[in-house]
Amino acid sequence: MASDNQKIIRHAGIDRAFHWVMAAIMLVLLATSLLPMLGVRFAWYGVHWVSGLLLTVIIALHVLRALFWQKPRGIMIKPSDLKAGGAGKYTLAQKLMHQAWTVAVLVAIVTGLLLLRKAGVPFLERDPYVRSMASWGIITLLHDLAALLSVFLVLVHVYFAILPEKRAYLRAMTKGFISRSDLAREHDLNRVDRGE
Amino acid sequence: MNLLRFGHDSYGNRIIDGASWDLLPVAFWAGIAVIVVHLVVRALRRGKGGG
């Protein structure tokens, strides 16, 4: 029988590295796209597309790791998540945050990769005529909406991460460990032990 | 407040250019609103001894 103070590994080092690298890249992407809109003028495009490609690579690695080394069903929302104290590894709120980030980041990546053709990068010649102006407008609209959703999500995500009662999750994302007593507040430890 | 940015194609037709940057403060303040609402609900629950 495990003791309440027993520490268990919540996030492996590679997953914590993914998280913090993704976070840093997202902040660079938001800064390089939104600061010019706020009147801060600088050569943003080079940093933006390089950061976007880095994010694409990191997300691809994250998806591969989730599919082949982890249990991707663990992040899916299940009826038992709606029961107080019934969460598995992740609470309903954590799952919803992940799904929202998934939408924002995947839309930003797909539309961003398409927009590389319109704007041009050293390895891909600029050719805005491969699509109609109306199509580019819709792609840009989706890219913009992903950026706006990301602004909202950064605020909410950081707020919940620094709340005192959620500090154990933040510690787990920096050091990797969480105690069973911290998990017992919102999680069903039987589900956690089963790897759900 | 505008929701969209508009431009014109080479035939002069009005087309969508992207989201209006008027929405940037909306996204920001929506995030702040969620935080404030959560802080209020949290304080009320603690006041009732709900932890």
| ipTM computed for the complex | 0.91
- Residue B8 belongs to a domain: no
Residue of A80, A153, A81, A140 whose CA lies nearest to A108: A140
Residue type (1 letter), A122: P
CATH fold label, A9-193? Fumarate Reductase Cytochrome B subunit (1.20.950)
What pLDDT, on a 0 to 100 scale, did the predictor assign at position A185? 87
* Rounded Cα–Cα distance for residues A9 and A2 (Å): 14
Q: Is the pLDDT of residue B27 over 90?
A: yes
What pLDDT, on a 0 to 100 scale, did the predictor assign at position B50? 59
Residue of B nearest to A142 (CA): B18
> CA separation (Å) from A183 to A71, A80, A193?
19, 16, 11
The residues spanned by each domain of chain A are: 9-193
B29 is in which domain, residue-wise? 23-51
Q: What are the chain A neighbours of B4 within 8 Å (beta carbons)? A: 141
- Residue B40 belongs to a domain: yes
Helix (H, G, I), strand (E, B), or coil: what is residue A30? helix
Asked whether the CA dihedral A46, A48, A52, A54 is positive or negative, the reply is positive
Residue of B nearest to A155 (CA): B31
User: Inter-chain contact B18–A133, Cβ cutoff 8 Å?
Assistant: no
Number of domains in chain B: 1
Q: Which tokens belong to A29?
A: 């992407």
What pLDDT, on a 0 to 100 scale, did the predictor assign at position A166? 93
- What is the per-residue burial (b if ≥16 Cβ within 10 Å, else e) of A108-140? bbebbebbebbeeeeeeeeeeeeeebeebbbbb
Task: Provide the residue-wise pLDDT of chain A in tens; the chain has 196 residues.
Answer: 456 678 999 999 999 999 999 999 999 999 999 999 999 999 999 999 999 999 999 999 999 999 999 888 888 898 888 887 788 899 999 999 999 999 999 999 999 999 999 999 999 999 999 999 999 999 999 999 999 999 999 999 999 999 999 999 999 999 999 999 999 888 888 888 887 8
- Residue B13 belongs to a domain: no
What pLDDT, on a 0 to 100 scale, did the predictor assign at position A3? 65
What pLDDT, on a 0 to 100 scale, did the predictor assign at position B33? 98
Q: Which residue has the tokens 């950081």?
A: A158
Residue of B nearest to A157 (CA): B31
* Rounded Cα–Cα distance for residues A53 and A55 (Å): 5
Q: Where are the beta strands (DSSP E) in A37-165?
A: none
On whether any CB of chain B is under 8 Å from the CB of A84, the answer is no
Contact A173, A19 (CB under 8 A): yes
Q: What are the chain A neighbours of B19 within 8 Å (beta carbons)? A: 141, 144-145, 148
What pLDDT, on a 0 to 100 scale, did the predictor assign at position A106? 98
What pLDDT, on a 0 to 100 scale, did the predictor assign at position B7? 94
